[in-house]
Amino acid sequence: MVIKLYYKDIEKIVMEIMPKKCEVTKVEPEGLNIVIYLKNVNMFYACDQLIKQVADAIKKKVFIRADVSVLTDMEEAIKKIKQIIPPEVDITSIRFVPEFSEVHIESIKPGLVIGKGGVILREIMLQTNWAPIILRTPTMASNTINGIRKSFVLEAMDRKKILSSVGKHICQSMPKSDWLRVSFLGGFKEVGRSCMLVQTNNSKILIDCGVNPVIGEPTKAYPYLNMMGFSLDQLDGVVISHGHMDHMGFLPYLYEYGYEGPVYATPPTRDFMALLQQDYINVMKKSFGTDPPYTKKDVQKELRYVIPVDYEEVVDITPEIKMTFYNAGHILGSAMVHLHVGEGLHNLVYTGDIKFGFTRLFDPANISFPRVETMFVESTYGGWEDVTPARAQSELVLTRVIKETVDKKGNVLIPVFSVGRSQEILLVLEDYYKRNPDFNVPVYIDGMVLEASAIHTAYPKYLRENLEKRILSNQSPFESPMISVAKGENKQTLVGNGEPGIILAPSGMLNGGPSYEYLRMMAHDEKNTLIFVGYQSALSLGSKIQKGMKEIPIIGDDGRTEIMKINMRVETVEGFSGHSDRSQLMTFLKNVMPSPERVFTMHGDWSKTEDLAKSASAMLKHNVTAPLDMEAIRLR
């Protein structure tokens, strides 16, 4: 049974529908879309329903671009674009991409560039023939975003070839599959190196490909890719749920060893991949003294293959598998992955990491799906005892501990993950400062916190509505006057000048990075306070200190082992995690619609996954299981 049109059939249908006066020169699959190139753009726009008619006929998203032969000269096009766009709009960049017949226009206020109903975009296309792509300029400078956008232009030819290959593969005909199985390659009955293979007769999709960032030993840090049973070049695609290292940190390795296929992720996830993977290369050398599993060249190659997908956009990722991302509420761009396999063969949801509770950054995780027979749910805090206090109480405790430390002229160190927790804590502190104007202690951010915050300002639609509005009106909380950026040369002065300060620095588990450097400078002084606000892996330095260890053997500047004494106050404030606690996980499973027939727990220590599985089984009245790494289960 044929379940897809071959791309040549799509081309034939398009040519039959399009009026000859449009002068179509070619029809190409391009990644997830079909692109129609033509010489007469004005004639196409004269037929209002034409694009809808084509999209309905081929069941694909359709883009219209002008043939390269009719594109306006770039200098002339810039003049026309600036005449068309309202004068009050600040254009930060205009880049032409001839390979795609596109012009990329960046602005702080992209809505004004688009115009009501897209009227300005249409006018740009009609007057220049260049297809305008509107990008939001971050309110804070971001080297990551700027680098990615520049590379898109510089590597456009390579990317076009990649997208064409992916598009043709997705549009091919294929016999109907009659079985579906999943293999667990990492992150099952453990936290770290999340990786799951979804496989049918005809398709092979990898969901997540992470590392355990607190372990240097490859056999414990990296997923069991050798268990796949086939070479990497047979993979149809990789889906990344979100931009934390334990979910995407091993992905560049695939490109080092032969994979040349697509990666599907939300736009913010793509940006965080670029930021954190390159940092991981440095951390591996510095913290573990070992060579990383890939190089910066592999990260750059990986980014050429990323195909961004927004929330609730239904896309074909193989001829028989449709994928949809849904908000997971965990970090910026974090997604639950819904796969619709075959024509009704099976529907599964992989939650990734979810937050089904209040945060200042995001709406709670989505609970409504078109269909779902099987669900894989995270269990980081799935244990019996994992019930966190009310959020208001957590914020009260955090600010109280900070004030007590400041009153003693001490400094506060809060180890944070660059992405997610750092921005959440900044919002909490900003609110406290607004309510207490006399409290004027500086908040210092270090490491990648600044860059991660800048990326947040480029994607306000992924944030809570009130926060989105603030960023759109140039009132970003991440640029508050209370925030200062710690510089490398003044760190020692910062903690030793006798003036109190609050320091937010990665890594969140104290395994290297600026937070570890500050700990070494601050640990001896009992006036200082260390506050944990996020998950601490059992093998991390943060976990050891959290459990009461007072003397830590470390390598000194001279290369010799010395003892770091923890005299500073140590506190753990629960309630700020981007993960759901036990009660939130149970409420999530109870409210998922439709209720899944089968549930598997993952992404949690052995006892946590088992505890959640037992409780969920009793609540849902059917079996919930906690599989182990290297197991495989047939779903159909």
In the chain, what are the domain boundaries?
69-156, 174-385+579-634, 402-572
Q: Give the pLDDT band (50/70/90) at residue 38.
A: very high
Q: How far apart are CA 378 and CA 187, in angstroms?
A: 9
Q: Please tell me if the domain spanning 69-156 has the same topology as the one spanning 174-385+579-634.
A: no
Q: Does domain 402-572 have CATH number 3.40.50.10890?
A: yes
State how far the alpha carbon of 498 is from the alpha carbons of 125, 130, 473, 527, in Å.
Answer: 60, 59, 38, 11
Q: How far apart are CA 433 and CA 402, in angstroms?
A: 12
Q: How far apart are CA 407 and CA 438, in angstroms?
A: 13
CA torsion angle 266 272 274 277 (round to 10): -120
Do 193 and 212 meet the contact criterion of CB atoms below 8 Å apart?
yes
Amino acid at 79: K
Kindly state the average pLDDT of the residues 299-307: 97
Q: How far apart are CA 529 and CA 429, in angstroms?
A: 16
Q: How far apart are CA 390 and CA 208, in angstroms?
A: 31
**Site of tokens 């819904």:** 338
Across the chain, mean pLDDT equals 93
Q: How far apart are CA 363 and CA 327, in angstroms?
A: 8
Kindly state the average pLDDT of the residues 250-256: 96
Give me the CATH code for the 174-385+579-634 domain, please.
3.60.15.10
CB-count exposure of residue 336 (10 Å: 0-12, 13-18, 19+): buried
Query: What is the per-residue pLDDT across 447-475, written as a single tens digit (0 to 9) for each?
Result: 899 999 999 999 999 999 999 999 998 88
Residue 599: φ, ψ to 5°: -130, 135
Residue 92 has pLDDT above 50, yes or no: yes
Of all residues in the chain, what percent carry a pLDDT higher than 90? 80
Six token digits for residue 103: 């012009």
Query: What is the per-residue pLDDT across 582-634, written as a single tens digit (0 to 9) for each?
Result: 999 999 999 999 999 999 999 999 999 999 999 999 999 988 999 999 999 99
Predicted local distance difference test score (pLDDT) of residue 2: 41
Six token digits for residue 335: 């997604």
DSSP E strands, 476-574: 483-485, 502-505, 529-532, 551-555, 561-565, 569-572
Q: How far apart are CA 415 and CA 429, in angstroms?
A: 15
Do 200 and 342 meet the contact criterion of CB atoms below 8 Å apart?
yes
Helical spans, DSSP H, in 410-502? 421-435, 449-458, 465-472, 491-496
Kindly state the average pLDDT of the residues 539-560: 85
- Candidate CATH numbers 3.40.50.2000, 3.30.300.20, 3.40.50.720, 3.40.50.2300; the one for domain 69-156: 3.30.300.20
Q: How far apart are CA 176 and CA 2, in angstroms?
A: 7
Six token digits for residue 623: 């079996």
Query: What is the per-residue pLDDT across 205-224, written as a single tens digit (0 to 9) for each?
Result: 999 999 998 787 888 899 99
Q: How far apart are CA 303 and CA 326, in angstroms?
A: 22
Give every CB contact of residue 609 below 8 A, 6+ residues apart in sequence: 188, 189, 379, 382, 601, 602, 603, 626
Six token digits for residue 148: 């990615």
Of all residues in the chain, what percent carry a pLDDT higher than 70? 98
Q: How far apart are CA 599 and CA 620, in angstroms?
A: 9
Six token digits for residue 131: 């297809």
3-state secondary structure 106-170: EECCHHHHHCHHHHHHHHHHHHHCCEEEEEECCCCCCHHHHHHHHHHHHCHHHHHHHHHHHHHHH
Six token digits for residue 608: 């946590």
Please indicate whether residue 290 or residue 220 has the higher confidence score (pLDDT): 220
Do 139 and 108 meet the contact criterion of CB atoms below 8 Å apart?
yes
Q: How far apart are CA 354 and CA 379, in angstroms?
A: 9
Kindly state the average pLDDT of the residues 143-159: 95
State how far the alpha carbon of 345 is from the alpha carbons of 6, 16, 204, 500, in Å.
Answer: 21, 33, 15, 61
DSSP helix/strand/coil, 403: helix
Q: Is 248 left (phi over 0), alpha (psi -120 to 50) or beta?
A: alpha
Six token digits for residue 511: 């395994």
How does DSSP classify residue 33? E
CB-count exposure of residue 636 (10 Å: 0-12, 13-18, 19+): middle
Predicted local distance difference test score (pLDDT) of residue 488: 63
CB-count exposure of residue 368 (10 Å: 0-12, 13-18, 19+): exposed
Q: How far apart are CA 600 and CA 288, in angstroms?
A: 34
Residue 559 has pLDDT above 80, yes or no: no
Residue 555 has pLDDT above 90, yes or no: no
Q: Give the pLDDT band (50/70/90) at residue 520.
A: very high
State how far the alpha carbon of 450 is from the alpha carbons of 331, 514, 578, 588, in Å.
Answer: 16, 13, 19, 32
